[in-house]
Chains A and B, each alone.
Chain A
Amino acid sequence: MSQSQMNILKIENIEKIFEIKVSAFKSKNLYALNKITLEVERGKTISVVGESGCGKTTLGKVVSGLYQAEKGTIKFHGQDIAHKKPLQRGLLQKDIQMIFQDPYSSLNSRKKVKDILEQPLKIHTKLNKADRMQAIEKTCADVGIDLGYLSRYPHQFSGGQRQRIAIARAIILNPELVIADEPISALDVSIQAQVLNLLMDLQEKLNLTYLFITHDISVVKHLSDYVAVMYLGEIVEYGTKEQIFSNPQHPYTKMLFLAVPDIDNPVLSEKVLETGEIPSPIDLPDGCYFAGRCPLADADCEKEHPPLLEKGDQYKVRCIKV
C-alpha cells in the first residue's frame, strides 16, 4: 500500500488567522497556524506537542471544523474540508470525532448519560431506538462504562468517569479519526494512566487514528507513533517517536525535555533559567521565531525565517543550526 493510501488525513499549508484588536482603531493579525503541513497515517497516533500559544488546539479545531482555515487544504476521504463547517461536511463529519480536555464542561450537565451518547447516533444514523440502544450498550462495554450510568447525570461522576463518557461519545459512531485535545491533562495521575491505557486499547480494537494534542511530552511517548513539536503556530520538529525521544535536534524540543520534571532524573538545573518567556504571537520577528530564547541563535537566525526541512526518513526540523 503506498504512503498516500495509508494516509487518511492530509493537512497542507493550513493558515488560521485571528484579528486581534490592539487599540481602539487598529487590529493586528495573529497567525495561530502558519502554513502547517502534516499527514496522518491510518491506525497510528500522531501527537502534537507544545506550550500555550503554539496553535495545537487551534489545529485540532480546524480539523474538526469548529474553526475554518483561511488558507490551505485538508484532504479527508478525497475532499477538502479545510473551509467547511461541520454541517457542510455532511457524512464525512461522522468519521472525525473529538474528545475535549475538561471533563466538567464537555458533557451537558442537564442531560442524562444515555442522551449524551445517543445524540451522535440520532444525528448521523438512521437507526431506530432499539438499534441505538444496542450501539450504546456495545460502546459502554468497550469503554468500561457500567450500564447503570446511563440514567444518571454527569455531575454524579468523577473526572475520570466523565472522560470515559466523553470517549464513549467520541467512538460510538465508529469514526476513523479521533482528535483528542489534552484528554488527560485535567485528571489525577492514577486516572491518567487508566484513560491512556483505555485509549490505546480502543485504538487497537477499533483501528482508530489519533491526533493527540498535549502539552505534556512525557505522556506522548507511550501513545504515539509520530510526534510534531509546535511553537508559535509552526511545526519546528517532526519525526517518529524514536527519533524525537532519543535524538531531539531542535533547540526548543531540547528545552522542553530539559524543563519537564523527571522522577528518574530529578535535577533542577540552573539551565532552566535560560528558557526565557514565550513571546507574543502577534508581533512575530522576520527571522526564526525561537531566536530570542535559543542558545544557538546568531545573526543568520534573525535574518531569514527557517523552512521546515526534511532530513531523511520522515524526519523534519526547522533550524539552520542543525
Chain B
Amino acid sequence: MSEMLRVKNLKTHFDTRKGLVKAVDDISFSINKGEILGIVGESGAGKSITGFSLINLIDSPGEIVDGSILFNDRDLAHLSEDELSRIRGGEISMIFQDPQMSLNPVITIGKQLIETVTYHNPETSKQDAYKKAVEMLELVGMPAPEKRMASYPHQLSGGMKQRVVIAMALINSPKLLIADEPTTALDVTIQAQILFLMKKLTQEFGSSLILITHDIAVVAQMCDKIAVMYAGRIVEYGSNKDVLYNPKHPYTKGLIQCLPRLNEEKARLYQIPGVMPSLLALPVGCYFSDRCPYADEECKVYPETITLEGRLVSCHKVK
C-alpha cells in the first residue's frame, strides 16, 4: 500500500478577539492509496477545520501555524494559493454537508460539471467534457442523466444534489476526496445510498477518502482507519476494528457506549458527564480529564501519544 497523504504535527490556530483558539492542535495521521479514513468527533472537536486545512481553505483570523501536509512529495501547508487552486477540484476534491455550498444556483448542473473538467484539463474539448459529465451522472445513479444536464440545482432533491456534488468531486479522478459530513442533512434511506455510492466509487476510481463525521455508526460502516478527535487533538487513531471494537481511550469508550443500540435494551443510556471544553478555556493537562471516570493527579499533564495494541492513543491510564 503506498502512502498518499501524510499529515505531521498540523496546527491551525485562530487569533480571535476573545483569544487564541487552537482549533487543530498538533495532529498527525496518514492515508494510503485507496484507503478510507474516518475523522470522528463532536462539534468543536476540530474535525471540519482539519478537512479545510488540508487544502488550506482557512481564512483570517485562522492560519496553519505549524506542521506539514505531505501529498505526493509536496507540502500543501506551504504551497501558494495559485498552486493550491490547481490542486483543489483536480487531485484533491472536497464535498460539504450542504450541497448549496458546492452548487451554483444559477448555472445548470451540466455546465458546472463541464466547467469542472475544463478548468483542470483545458485541453479537453467541450464535447468530450460533456460526455464525461453524462457518464459521471450515470455512475452516481442519476436517473435520465442526459436530461438532467439541463437541470438547475433547485429542481433536484437533497439526495440528488449531493449525487451531483459527488459527481463533480470525482469527475477528475482525484487522488483524494475529503467529505465533510456529506450525509448529515439527508434522510436515512438516502444517506445509506449516498454512503454506498461513495464507497463504491472511490474504490473504482482508486481514490482515497477522508470522511469527516460525528456519526460513529457511519464510520463503522465505511472506514478502514479511524481518528477520534477531542478539543483539537487526536485522542485515538488506528484501524476500524481496533478503535471501535476494542477502544482504549476513555472518550472513545464513552462515545461508543452512549450510542443507542438497535438490539439492546437499557433502562438508561450511558452518558458522559459534562461537555467538551470550549477551545478558549482548555483545562490544564488532559483535555478530557474533567469528564473522565479514571482521571487523577497524573492527568494534570497532557499525556504522550503511545502505541498500544496496534493503535495510537493519548492517555495516561492505558497500558
Grouping DSSP codes into helix (H, G, I), strand (E, B) and loop, the A interface class, with mixed when no group exceeds half, is helix
Q: Let me know if B60 is at the binding interface, CB within 8 A.
A: no
Binds B, one of A122-130, A133-141, A264-272, A299-307: A264-272
Q: What does the 1/0 interface line of B227-244 toward A look like (CB < 8 Å)?
A: 000000000000000001
Q: In chain A between 212 and 270, which residues have their CB closer than 8 angstroms to a CB of chain B?
A: 215-219, 221-222, 245, 255-268, 270
Contact of A245 among B195, B218, B262, B276 (CB under 8 A): B262
Quick check: A273 and B141 within 8 Å, CB to CB? yes
Which residues of the partner chain B approach A273 to less than 8 Å between Cβ atoms?
141, 193, 196
Quick check: B215 and A264 within 8 Å, CB to CB? no
Which residues of the partner chain B approach A216 to less than 8 Å between Cβ atoms?
188
Which residues of the partner chain B approach A174 to less than 8 Å between Cβ atoms?
none
Report how far A273 CA is from B200 CA in the complex, Å: 12
Quick check: B43 and A197 within 8 Å, CB to CB? no
Q: Let me know if B79 is at the binding interface, CB within 8 A.
A: no
CB-CB under 8 A for A51 and B189, given A189-B255, A196-B269, A262-B262? yes
Interface size on B, residues (CB 8 A): 45
Report how far A198 CA is from B137 CA in the complex, Å: 46
Quick check: A264 and B261 within 8 Å, CB to CB? yes
Quick check: A200 and B268 within 8 Å, CB to CB? yes
Interface size on A, residues (CB 8 A): 45
Quick check: B254 and A218 within 8 Å, CB to CB? no
Which residues of the partner chain B approach A266 to less than 8 Å between Cβ atoms?
217, 220-221
Q: Let me know if A158 is at the binding interface, CB within 8 A.
A: yes
CB-CB nearest in chain A for B256: A263
Quick check: B258 and A221 within 8 Å, CB to CB? no
Q: Let me know if B284 is at the binding interface, CB within 8 A.
A: no
Report how far A245 CA is from B188 CA in the complex, Å: 17
Q: Let me know if A151 is at the binding interface, CB within 8 A.
A: no
Contact of B217 among A52, A196, A217, A261 (CB under 8 A): A261
- Chain A proximity of B175: nearest CB distance (Å): 23
CB-CB under 8 A for A259 and B191, given A188-B214, A222-B269? yes
Which residues of the partner chain B approach A268 to less than 8 Å between Cβ atoms?
192, 195-196, 199, 221-222
Quick check: B258 and A193 within 8 Å, CB to CB? yes
CB-CB nearest in chain A for B272: A190
Report how far A255 CA is from B255 CA in the complex, Å: 27
- Chain B proximity of A99: nearest CB distance (Å): 18
Which residues of the partner chain B approach A277 to less than 8 Å between Cβ atoms?
157, 159-160, 190
Q: Let me know if A194 is at the binding interface, CB within 8 A.
A: yes
Report how far A267 CA is from B199 CA in the complex, Å: 12
Contact of A190 among B141, B196, B255, B266 (CB under 8 A): B255
CB-CB under 8 A for A189 and B188, given A218-B260, A218-B261? no
Which residues of the partner chain A approach B217 to less than 8 Å between Cβ atoms?
260-263, 266
Which residues of the partner chain B approach A51 to less than 8 Å between Cβ atoms?
187-190
Which residues of the partner chain A approach B192 to less than 8 Å between Cβ atoms?
258-261, 268, 272, 275
Which residues of the partner chain B approach A263 to less than 8 Å between Cβ atoms?
216-217, 220, 244, 256, 259, 261
CB-CB under 8 A for A259 and B272, given A273-B196, A278-B157? no
Quick check: A278 and B187 within 8 Å, CB to CB? yes
Which residues of the partner chain B approach A256 to less than 8 Å between Cβ atoms?
188-189
Q: What does the 1/0 interface line of B135-146 toward A look like (CB < 8 Å)?
A: 000000100000
Q: Contacts A221-B260, A256-B188, A264-B263 given; 5 further ones with Cβ under 8 A?
A: A188-B43, A189-B42, A218-B259, A261-B215, A263-B217
Rank and list the top 7 A-B pairs by shortest CB-CB distance, nearest first: A261-B217, A193-B258, A266-B220, A272-B192, A259-B192, A51-B187, A188-B42
- Contact surface of B with A, Cβ cutoff 8 Å: 42-43, 141, 157, 159-160, 187-193, 195-196, 199, 214-218, 220-222, 244, 254-256, 258-266, 268-273, 275-276
Q: Can you list 10 residue pairs at the A/B interface with Cβ under 8 Å?
A: A189-B258, A192-B258, A193-B258, A196-B260, A197-B269, A215-B188, A259-B191, A263-B244, A268-B192, A277-B159
